[in-house]
């Protein structure tokens, strides 16, 4: 497909009769049989703004090839738009292949194809690595965190933090961890100075490491999908809390001389991060570090839920609809300013 003269346009900007190159994520494939008994497939593609269907009828040479197309990944397509009054814009696929990093020169950005964080994932990840460098003094703990992020970085940058509760969009887990590390490191400094007589002192490095790894089990609990993330079998039967502890333990065992006390305290913070048994915690926080991590986790999740309810509310009243995750309360929207506040999303240190 490289080297064609076909213009590159967003899928959501494709017009009827227009032939163009588009980047889109494949979100699902529907199979069926027409009234004559012939098999067909409908492939649903999307970018961040719209979804379009590419029907592949029995005589389409791509129908068999489409069996190998994978849900949840991005494709580079040369298509022709075909507007149907009953079905909306449909796609006539001329050529297709998986998108690659080399396509960035033509405007490819996976995060522009799906509902995702408003922040640049690479910038978020760089901020987290900066916190590792500046806040974790223990070389064993630092190496553990860095090795886990290195091994699982690609998935960590895409996975939502939850199926539907909070940060439930592509790169939501990364955003959640980034936000938590900022809050947790600030509180670690505050309370470390506040209670400087503690011996041993409040362990900021352990707090930051626990914050980064508290939900790492979600990489095994959930199966990434750009629209509908699902639970894995293991996720349903075991859950991310224990799976995260297991992943951390497996990595620590590969690091010769990893201190048992450090591993124990890190495991405890991960196991206790839900705060209460009623919230799914196998154990309640019994260290100051685990207590702080659990409160920051709960705060960040609740603020995400509340803020997104405000941002996405479509009713015309002064309050949002009831928010199930916040005890069915309704949130007051306030009086809007004449001009929105301009935030620089790149100031993420």
Mean pLDDT of 263-286: 94
Q: Which of 92, 112, 132 is the last residue of a domain?
A: 112
252 and 105 in a common domain:
no
pLDDT at 309: 86
> Which pTM value belongs to this model?
0.80
Of residues 58 and 183, more confidently modeled: 183
| 187, 269: one domain | yes
Residues 151 and 58 in one domain: no
68 inside domain: yes
156-194 pLDDT, tens per residue? 999 999 877 788 889 999 999 999 999 999 999 999 999
Predicted confidence at residue 344, as pLDDT, reads: 60
78 lies in the same domain as 145? no
Q: What pLDDT does 162 receive?
A: 86
- Is 155 a residue whose pLDDT tops 90? yes
Task: Let me know if residue 88 belongs to a domain.
Answer: yes
Q: Is residue 86 part of a domain?
A: yes
Task: Using the 3D structure, point to which of 88, 112, 136 is the last residue of a domain.
Answer: 112
Which of 64, 86, 112 is a domain's end point?
A: 112
Task: Indicate the helix (H) or strand (E) that contains 182.
Answer: helix 172-194
pLDDT in tens, 322-334: 888 888 899 998 9
Cβ atoms 26, 41 nearer than 8 A: no
pLDDT tens digits along 99-112: 999 999 999 998 88
- 178 & 271 share domain: yes
- pLDDT exceeds cutoff 80 at 63: yes
Q: How many domains does the chain divide into?
A: 2
What gap in Å lies between CA 120 and CA 175, rounded to an integer? Answer: 9
Token duo for residue 190: 């505050």
Q: Report the mean per-residue pLDDT for the chain.
A: 91
Domain hosting 91: range is 11-112
Q: Is residue 290 scored above 90 in pLDDT?
A: yes
| Interaxial angle between packed helices 139-156 and 204-213, expressed in degrees from 0 to 180 and rounded to the nearest 10 | 20
Q: Report the CATH number at residue 136.
A: 1.10.3210
Encoded tokens for 46:
């999307």
Pair 23, 170 in one domain: no
Q: Which has more pLDDT, 196 or 339?
A: 196
For residue 325, being part of any structural domain is answered with no
Answer yes or no: are the C-beta atoms of 136 and 145 closer than 8 Å: yes
The upper half-sphere exposure of residue 104, i.e. CA atoms within 13 Å in the direction of its Cβ, equals: 5
Same domain, 107 and 127: no
Looking at the fold, whether 82 and 130 belong to one and the same domain comes out as no
Q: Do 137 and 254 reside in the same domain of the chain?
A: yes
- Report if residue 243 sits inside a domain: yes
The verdict on 86 and 125 lying in the same domain is no
Kindly write down the DSSP assignment for every residue of 101-121, as one continuous string.
Answer: GGGGGGT--GGGSSSB-SS-H
CATH code assigned at 15: 2.40.50.140
Pair (180, 208) in one structural domain: yes
Query: Residue 340 falls within a domain, yes or no?
Result: no
Q: What is the pLDDT of residues 206-252, one digit of tens each?
A: 999 999 999 999 999 999 887 778 899 999 999 999 999 999 999 99
Task: Give the confidence band of 345 by pLDDT, cuts at 50, 70, 90.
Answer: low
Do both 152 and 232 map to the same domain? Answer: yes
Q: Is residue 336 part of a domain?
A: no
Residue 139 forms part of a structural domain: yes
């Amino acid at each position: 497909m490289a080297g064609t003269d076909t213009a590159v346009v967003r899928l959501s900007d494709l017009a009827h009769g227009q032939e163009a190159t588009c980047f889109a994520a494949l979100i699902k494939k529907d199979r069926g049989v027409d009234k004559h008994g012939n098999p067909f497939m409908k492939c649903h593609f999307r970018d961040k703004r719209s979804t379009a269907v590419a029907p592949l009828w029995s005589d389409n040479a791509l129908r068999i090839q489409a069996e190998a197309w994978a849900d949840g990944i991005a494709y580079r397509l040369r298509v022709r738009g075909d507007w149907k009054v009953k079905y909306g814009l449909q796609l006539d696929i001329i050529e297709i292949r998986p998108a690659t990093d080399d396509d960035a020169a033509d405007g490819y950005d996976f995060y522009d194809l799906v509902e995702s964080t408003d922040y640049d994932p690479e910038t978020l990840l760089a901020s987290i690595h900066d916190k590792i460098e500046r806040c974790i003094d223990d070389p064993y703990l630092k190496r553990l965190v860095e090795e886990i992020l290195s091994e699982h970085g690609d998935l960590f940058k895409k996975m939502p933090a939850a199926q539907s509760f909070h940060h439930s969009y592509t790169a939501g887990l990364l955003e959640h961890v980034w936000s938590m590390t900022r809050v947790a490191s600030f509180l670690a400094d505050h309370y470390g100075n506040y209670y400087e007589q503690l011996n041993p002192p409040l362990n900021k490095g352990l707090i930051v490491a626990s914050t980064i790894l508290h939900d790492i089990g979600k990489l095994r609990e959930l199966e990434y999908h750009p629209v509908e993330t699902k639970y894995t079998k293991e996720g349903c039967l075991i859950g991310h809390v224990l799976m995260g502890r297991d992943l951390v333990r497996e990595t620590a065992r590969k690091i010769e001389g990893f201190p048992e006390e450090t591993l124990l305290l890190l495991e405890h913070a991960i196991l206790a991060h839900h705060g209460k048994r009623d919230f799914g915690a196998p154990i309640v926080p019994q260290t100051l570090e685990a207590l702080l991590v659990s409160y920051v986790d709960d705060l960040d999740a609740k603020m995400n839920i509340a803020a997104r309810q405000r941002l996405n509310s479509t009713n015309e009243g002064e309050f949002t609809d009831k928010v199930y995750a916040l005890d069915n309360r309704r949130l007051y929207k306030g009086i809007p300013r004449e001009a929105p506040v301009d935030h620089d999303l790149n100031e993420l240190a």
